[in-house]
Structure 1
Amino acid sequence: MSTQPQHFLYEVRDGVATLTLNRPERKNPLTFASYAELRDLFRALADANDVKAVVLTGAGDNFCSGGDVHDIIGPLTKLDMPGLLAFTRMTGDLVKAMRACPQPIVAAIDGVCAGAGAMLALASDIRLGTARSKTAFLFTRVGLAGADMGACALLPRVIGQGRASELLYTGRSMNGVEAERWGFFNSVHEPEALLEAARAFAQGLASGPTFAHGITKKMLQQEWNMGVDEAIEAEAQAQAICMMTQDFHRAYHAFVAKQKPQFEGN
C-alpha cells in the first residue's frame, strides 16, 4: 500500500505496519477527517500484501483521548438527526473495518485511552498496556449511552457482562493493573518498553502462518452469531481450507525434519 496518511503516522517494517495517532499535544484525539482516514486505511489493508500484522499506538505518553471536543463534540451539537446518524455510522464503520481487516491488530496503550480511543483499543485483537494507563468508556459522562461503536457487543465478550456494564454505565477509568486482571489487557509493560513489546508480538504473528491467522480472525468474528453446531461446521470448512495451504505442508515437513517451519503465508 503506497498511500501516506495525512492524519497519523504510518510505516511498514518487516511485515509489521505501525500506525501512530500523532497529536500528542492534545493526547491524540480523533477528528472527522482522521476517523474517515483510519476507516479507509483498515479497509485497504485487506489488499496490502506487504502487511502481515498491525501495531496501533499513540504518540507521546497517551494512546487516544477520543473525539476532539472542539473539532467533533462542538459541531455535533449543531447537526440535525440525519447528520448525526451519518457521523455515528461512520465511526461504527471504523470498528467494522478493523474487525474485517485480515491482519491481527496489536494495540500498545499508554496513558489516556478514552471514549472512541477505548473503542479503538477494544476493536484491536491484542491489547498491551501500562500500569499507569487509564481506559474509560466515558460516553455517559457527556450525556450519551454507553452503546457506542459496538461497545455493548464487544466489551462483554472481552471482560464479561457484569464488568462491561459497570464501565459502560459509570464511564469510570480502569487502570492498567485492573485492565490486565479483568482480561482487557493481555499484558502490562513499563512505558519505555511498551512499543517494543507490541512490535515484538506483532512480529511473531507476522512470521507465522498469516493466511491461517486471517482465517482465525474471521472465525473469531463470525462465530459470535452462530450456534455451537454451526460454529463447529464452519471451523471444519475453515480448517480444510487451511490444510490446502503450502504453510501446512511446510509445517509437516519441518516437523519430520525436526526443524522450525518457515511460513510464507500461502
Structure 2
Amino acid sequence: MSETNERLDPALAAGNRRQLAGYRATHFLWEVREKVATVTLNRPERKNPLTFESYAELRDLFAQLKYADDVTAVVVTGAGGNFCSGGDVHEIIGPLVRLKAPELLMFTRMTGDLVRTMRACPQPIVAAIDGVCAGAGAIVAMASDVRLGTARSKTAFLFNRVGLAGCDMGACSILPHIIGQGRASELLFTGRALGGEEGERWGFFNRLCAPEALLDEAQALAREFAQGPTFANGITKTMLHQEWAMTVDQALEAEAQAQAICMMTEDFSRAYHAFVAKTRPRFEGN
C-alpha cells in the first residue's frame, strides 16, 4: 500500500482508493508496468472493432480509474498494425437497425459515457495510433489527451457515410478544440480519412513515429507523465476539460483556486527542496 493510502482513514480509503494493476480484462488486453496501464484492443483479424461488451467494459474501467492509486497514466492502442475500425458491423451496426428508440438511446448514451469517463479520469491518456482509426476508434483517439500516430495511419470520422450525423460521442464539441472548426467540419461532413502526415500538420497528432517504435514511444511518454506530480497532472487535465465552457475571467479564478490547492501538496514542497539541493524531485502524487 502506498504511503498516501497509509495516511488516510481506512474507511475513507476503502471507498475512494482501489488497486487496478491486477484487473482482468475480458474484451481487450490490460497490462500495468511502472504505474502505466496499456489497453490493447485485440481483435486484429477485424482491425479491432468495438462491441456492445467492449464499450461497456471500457466505460466501466475508465470510471474505476478515477479511484486507482496504482495507475497514473494510460496508453490505448490496437493489435496487429491497426488502432480500431469502429463499431463492429455485424455485432453492433446490424443489431442497431432492428432496435427501437429507447434501446438506441441506451446505446448512444453508453458510447457517450465512454468518452465522459475517459475525460473524467485523472490519468493522462496517450493514444498510440497505427493503421485504421475509424468511427468510434477515431472518437477514442480524440478523447485521449495525447495522440501519437504513424505516417500510414488513417483516421476517419465516417458517421455520415453510414447515414448518421457527425455529432457522435462528443465529436462536434471536442474535435474543433483539437484541430479547429473548419477542419473538424470538413472531416465530419465528408467522413474522409485523415492521413498521418496531414493529421500531424493539423494538430490531431502530437507527433508521428515509426510503426515499430510507436508503442514504445507512447509508453515512454506515459511513463514521463506517471513520474511527474500526478495529483497536479490530474488537476491540469480537469481544468483543460472544464475551461472549454468558461470565460477568461472564470478560468483565471478557477486556475487560481486549483493552483493554490496544488501549492499545499507535498510534491510542491519536494520540488522546492530538490531545486535548492540541485537534485531531481521525486514526486509521489500527494
Q: TM-score, normalised by structure 1?
A: 0.99
CA offsets, 1:21-66, max 9 Å, x none? 0000000000000000000000000111100100000011000000
Give the Cα–Cα distance (whole angstroms) in 1 for the partners of residues 200 and 270 of structure 2.
36
CA offsets, 1:191-221, max 9 Å, x none? 0000000000000000000000000000011
Q: TM-score, normalised by structure 2?
A: 0.92
* 1:58 counterpart = 2:75: no
**What does residue 248 of structure 1 align with?**
268
- Residues matched between the structures, number: 266
Write out aligned runs for 1:36-185 (5 A): 36-185=56-205
- TM-superposed deviation, 1:225: 0.9
- TM-superposed deviation, 1:264: 0.8
- TM-superposed deviation, 1:259: 1.1
- TM-superposed deviation, 1:238: 0.2
* 1:216 counterpart = 2:231: no
- TM-superposed deviation, 1:3: 2.9
Q: Per the alignment, in what secondary structure is the counterpart of residue 153 of structure 1?
A: helix
**What does residue 32 of structure 1 align with?**
52
**What does residue 253 of structure 2 align with?**
233
CA offsets, 1:70-103, max 9 Å, x none? 0000000000111111100100000000000000
Is the CA contact (8 Å cut-off) linking 2:197 and 2:208 kept in structure 1?
Answer: yes
Q: Which amino acid in structure 2 is aligned with residue 254 of structure 1? A: A
Give the Cα–Cα distance (whole angstroms) in 2 for the partners of residues 92 and 163 of structure 1.
22
Give the Cα–Cα distance (whole angstroms) in 2 for the partners of residues 45 and 152 of structure 1.
26
Q: Which amino acid in structure 1 is aligned with residue 277 of structure 2? A: A
* 1:3 counterpart = 2:12: no
Give the Cα–Cα distance (whole angstroms) in 2 for the partners of residues 222 and 175 of structure 1.
30
Higher mean C-alpha displacement, 182-191 vs 1-10: 1-10
RMSD over aligned Cα atoms: 0.5
Give the Cα–Cα distance (whole angstroms) in 1 for the partners of residues 54 and 212 of structure 2.
26
* 1:262 counterpart = 2:282: yes
Is the CA contact (8 Å cut-off) linking 2:132 and 2:155 kept in structure 1?
Answer: yes
Is the CA contact (8 Å cut-off) linking 2:51 and 2:91 kept in structure 1?
Answer: yes
Give the Cα–Cα distance (whole angstroms) in 2 for the partners of residues 48 and 21 of structure 1.
21
Give the Cα–Cα distance (whole angstroms) in 1 for the partners of residues 77 and 282 of structure 2.
29
Moved over 6 A (4+): none
Q: Per the alignment, in what secondary structure is the counterpart of residue 135 of structure 1?
A: strand
Q: Which amino acid in structure 1 is aligned with residue 118 of structure 2? A: M
Give the Cα–Cα distance (whole angstroms) in 1 for the partners of residues 41 and 86 of structure 2.
11
Identity of aligned residues (%): 74
Give the Cα–Cα distance (whole angstroms) in 1 for the partners of residues 172 and 242 of structure 2.
17
Q: Per the alignment, in what secondary structure is the counterpart of residue 66 of structure 2?
A: helix
- TM-superposed deviation, 1:67: 0.1
- TM-superposed deviation, 1:139: 0.2
* 1:15 counterpart = 2:32: no
Q: Per the alignment, in what secondary structure is the counterpart of residue 77 of structure 1?
A: helix
| Unaligned stretches of 5+ residues in structure 1 | none
* 1:201 counterpart = 2:221: yes
